[in-house]
């Protein structure tokens, strides 16, 4: 797309994402994702029931009566978006491509983050890390991220979720909240990398999928192409046995993903390209509040 089209698309996504993050997600996001710890706020006189470990002995000695330190939760977070840029995201049969849906979700999360004064960064991954953008604050940074999401061209079209998680563990030394936005069409097991990442960080998985991948329609002879390998073949979707086998494959694949996420103690949500992703994200946030 040319510069004018790109700017229009960025502006359209910005307007929609800001509206959603302000009107819908502000409170939900704030309560769903906790700060990184407790920070000293003030001292006050000791009250019955206060923890004696919080007594400030210097102030107590100066005023000859007990005072305690008061702590508040630090709200500022570092948020990392791990965005799948592999070839399988360039697929869509209903409202939009999976990549477009993923970009809108990522933009909404990004604007929700900066409204809470959080830093936001991005890791683009395929079967390796394609690009890392360090966390920063501010609208200018968010708009830069959205432009990158819309225009970035990966070197590889294959997927390895574990590569993105492994890089997250290396580059982020302090605790962060990490959203993996992917269709999870990965042939390599990533359960170990996920467990390690979620012990150090707060990892949330957002699966984006096309509804036709879940249930194959009966539309006759169709040419299909594997977006990650380029392999082409014709299939007869009129064959009920083929449609049933495809459905079984989908359900088994989804169950494997569910098991991996559950074993890693990772919260998750699955969003179809024709879903109202606002409702889906709200449901995810409310479960965490």
**Domain end call among 74, 101, 134:** 74
Query: Are residues 50 and 172 both part of a single domain?
Result: no
Query: Are residues 46 and 148 both part of a single domain?
Result: no
Query: Are residues 138 and 149 both part of a single domain?
Result: yes
Q: Encode pLDDT of 107-166 as tens digits.
A: 989 888 888 788 999 999 999 999 999 999 988 999 999 999 989 999 999 999 999 999
Q: How many whole angstroms separate alpha carbon 196 and alpha carbon 166?
A: 9
CATH at residue 199: 3.40.50.410
Query: Are residues 44 and 136 both part of a single domain?
Result: no
Q: Encode pLDDT of 189-242 as tens digits.
A: 999 999 999 999 999 999 999 888 777 777 777 776 666 777 777 777 777 888
Q: How confident is the model at residue 72 (pLDDT cuts 50, 70, 90)?
A: low
Which has more confidence, 110 or 34?
A: 110
Total count of domains within the chain? 2
What's the predicted TM-score (pTM) here?
Answer: 0.80
Query: Are residues 45 and 137 both part of a single domain?
Result: no
Query: Are residues 19 and 42 both part of a single domain?
Result: no
Q: Does 54 have pLDDT greater than 90?
A: no
Query: Are residues 63 and 145 both part of a single domain?
Result: no
pLDDT of residue 103: 92
- Residue-averaged pLDDT of the chain: 85
Query: Are residues 187 and 118 both part of a single domain?
Result: yes
The first and second tokens of residue 255, run together, are: 């169950």
Which has more confidence, 230 or 43?
A: 43
Query: Are residues 28 and 154 both part of a single domain?
Result: yes
Collect all residues with Cβ–Cβ distance below 8 Å to 16 and sequence separation of at least 6: 104, 107, 108
Q: How many whole angstroms separate alpha carbon 91 and alpha carbon 29?
A: 29
Chain-centroid distance of CA 229 in Å reads 25
Query: Are residues 135 and 240 both part of a single domain?
Result: yes
**Domain end call among 48, 74, 100:** 74
Query: Are residues 93 and 220 both part of a single domain?
Result: yes
Whether the CB-CB separation of 125 and 164 falls below 8 Å is answered with: yes
DSSP per residue over 201-216, as a string? SEEEEEEEE-HHHHS-
* Span of 11-15, 78-82, 179-183, 250-254 with lowest mean pLDDT: 11-15
Closest CA to 82 of 16, 151, 17, 145: 145
Q: Residue 51 is part of which domain span? A: 37-74
Which has more confidence, 90 or 147?
A: 147
pLDDT of residue 7: 73
**Domain end call among 51, 74, 97:** 74
Query: Are residues 193 and 225 both part of a single domain?
Result: yes
Whether the CB-CB separation of 160 and 93 falls below 8 Å is answered with: no
Collect all residues with Cβ–Cβ distance below 8 Å to 22 and sequence separation of at least 6: 115
Q: Does 169 have pLDDT greater than 80?
A: yes
């Amino acid at each position: 797309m040319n510069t004018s089209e790109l700017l229009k698309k960025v502006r359209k996504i910005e307007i929609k994402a800001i509206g959603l993050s302000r009107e819908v997600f502000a409170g939900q996001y704030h309560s769903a994702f906790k700060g990184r710890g407790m920070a000293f706020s003030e001292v006050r006189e000791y009250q019955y029931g206060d923890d004696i470990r919080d007594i400030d002995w210097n102030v107590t000695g100066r005023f000859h009566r007990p005072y305690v330190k008061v702590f508040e939760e630090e709200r500022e977070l570092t948020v990392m978006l791990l965005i799948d840029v592999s070839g399988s995201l360039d697929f869509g049969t209903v409202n939009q491509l999976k990549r477009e849906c993923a970009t809108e979700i990522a933009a909404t999360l990004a604007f929700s983050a900066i409204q809470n004064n959080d830093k936001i960064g991005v890791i683009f991954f395929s079967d390796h890390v394609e690009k890392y953008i360090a966390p920063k604050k501010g609208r200018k940074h968010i708009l830069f991220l959205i432009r990158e999401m819309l225009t970035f061209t990966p070197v590889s079209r294959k997927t390895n979720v574990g590569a993105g998680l492994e890089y997250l563990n290396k580059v982020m030394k302090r605790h962060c909240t990490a959203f993996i936005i992917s269709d999870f069409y990965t042939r390599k097991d990533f359960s170990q990398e996920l467990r390690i990442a979620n012990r150090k960080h707060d990892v949330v998985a957002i699966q984006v999928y096309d509804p036709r991948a879940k249930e194959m329609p009966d539309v006759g002879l169709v040419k299909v192409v594997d977006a990650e390998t380029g392999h082409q073949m014709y299939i007869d979707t009129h064959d009920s046995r083929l449609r049933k086998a495809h459905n079984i494959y989908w359900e088994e694949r989804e169950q494997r993903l569910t098991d991996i996420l559950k074993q890693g103690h990772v919260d998750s949500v699955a969003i179809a390209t024709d879903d109202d992703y606002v409702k889906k994200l709200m449901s995810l946030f409310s479960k965490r509040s």
